[in-house]
Amino acid sequence: MAPLGRRAALSLPLGMAAAGAGAQAPSRAVQFFVWTAVEPLLRSTLAGFEAAQHQRLRLMHVPWAAYRDALAARLMGGAEMDVCAMADLWLPEFAERGWLAPLDSLPGATGAAGGIRPACTGGMSWRGRTYGVPYYTDSIVFLCNRALRDRAGIAAPPESWEEVVAQSLLLQRSGLVRHALALPLAPDPWQIEVLTALVYAFGGSLVDASLDPVMQDDTAGAVPALRFLVDALHRHAILPPQAPTLSETDVLDAMADGEHAFCLAPSYRLRTLNDAALSSVAGRIQVAMMPRGGPRGTQQTCGWVRFFAATPAALESDTRRAGAAALLAHLAGEENGRGLAVQRHLLLQGGLPACSLALEGDAEVRAALDRWSGDAAILQRQAALSRAKDTLAPWLAEWSRAGAADLRAMLAARLPPEAAMARLAAHWSAMKAAHG
């Protein structure tokens, strides 16, 4: 998760002192590491936690795009850290390396993971053990600029990726946009989720249930989706030529300036795009169901869970263990009958969909989702068709790095999708074999 690039500055790491804790506050602060975008959302809730628990916190953060490598470096280097933000795409690797502590190692924190969506529980678990409490869950959704469609006389959002091409070309011929579609394809952590969403929409998969690659399959793998992607760039030119270098924030900034009619983005971005203080297209961006791709097309998309986890260092003393457990309970919103205050705050103030089942019937939450998206019912339908990444494995990050050059060559039309996927499948098989 990251703020819109031109509209939110990144703050520097900070230490938080416990308000009102006085002499009761322990001398050591709980060390808490997160990505930068969540720091402002957590600040007010953590100040209250410090005061109530007589517990000091040191909150450290780096931008999302650099977070995984920064976190790994700190854990390998023995830097002090008790609790960290974590993503499902890194959990298998970090758990296998022993960089995270299962919650059953922290009595008092285990109950904080109850009452949540099963998909969230699955995304926070590895080899039968739970490693976190929820931060948020979301999925890649298809967003439309309704005003541009209306000006072009397009009555409804596209229902297929073929219709996306047709509507995009009409919008471009009408002079309303230079490139109607925008996708964040830069090699950062969003890339795998955007590409996986596109593969699912074309009825394909990257790997099977045994973690063997099928991405190279010409019909049921990733090849049809990636053929579409290359055509969108080079044949139809509905994607801007710089698309392979565009980050998620680049795409959202351009969408907020009215430069594109369609994009793929996390659903929580609707809150910012439809905020008049932050976006010139506020009130015009609506969510639509994921377009189907080709003869095997579906409306499925890629979903994920982000969560808060404890490090093994948090178990080194009773004081550290107690501080980490109390912070995780606070973040889960289950502490002392407070009711889901943190998850509710993250949803209403940040637009971040909650893992908690208890918030589904919250009237204020439902009204906020309607206001941001134009139709909360579509968000719920799309969420029900969300699937976790099929590539969740300890070697995912290594595979992504190994295949980056092949993806770049494919997006530049120097390597056919069939050849690119064959190479990526070979990398995957070799890494799976090496992992044993």
Amino acid at position 234, single letter: H
DSSP letters for 50-69: HHHHT--EEEEEE-HHHHHH
Per-residue pLDDT at 5 exceeds 70 = no
DSSP letters for 325-372: HHHHHHHHT-GGG--SHHHHHHHHHH----SBGGGTT-HHHHHHHHHH
Q: How far apart are CA 307 and CA 2, in angstroms?
A: 15
Distance of CA 136 to the CA centre of its chain: 9
Interval 290-298 mean pLDDT:
97
- ∠413-419-422 over CA atoms, to 5°? 140
Per-residue pLDDT at 290 exceeds 50 = yes
Assess contact for 133 and 307: CB atoms under 8 A.
yes
Q: Which tens digit of pLDDT belongs to each residue from 26-59?
A: 568 999 999 999 999 998 888 888 888 888 999 9
Give just the sign of the alpha carbon dihedral 251, 252, 255, 259: negative
Single pTM value for the model: 0.89
CA distance to 162, 175, 176, 261, per residue, from 151 (Å):
21, 11, 8, 11
Q: Which tens digit of pLDDT belongs to each residue from 185-220?
A: 999 889 999 999 999 999 999 999 999 999 999 999
Number of Cβ atoms within 10 Å of the Cβ of 210: 6
Q: Give bridge partners of residue 303 from the DSSP assignment.
A: 139, 388
* Phi, psi at 263, each rounded to 5°: -160, 165
Q: How far apart are CA 94 and CA 397, in angstroms?
A: 11
Q: How far apart are CA 340 and CA 378, in angstroms?
A: 24
Number of Cβ atoms within 10 Å of the Cβ of 394: 18
In the chain, the domains with their CATH numbers are 22-137+303-369 (3.40.190.10), 139-302+380-435 (3.40.190.10)
Radius of gyration of the chain (CA): 22
pLDDT at 339: 57
Q: Considering all CA atoms of the chain, what is the largest pairwise distance in Å, rounded to the nearest integer?
A: 70
Q: Give bridge partners of residue 305 from the DSSP assignment.
A: 137
Please choose, from the candidates 326, 259, 310, the residue with its C-alpha nearest in 3D space to the C-alpha of residue 86: 310
Q: Write out the two tokens for 136.
A: 């948020």
Helix ranges (DSSP H) in 124-189:
146-151, 161-173
Mean pLDDT estimate for the chain: 89
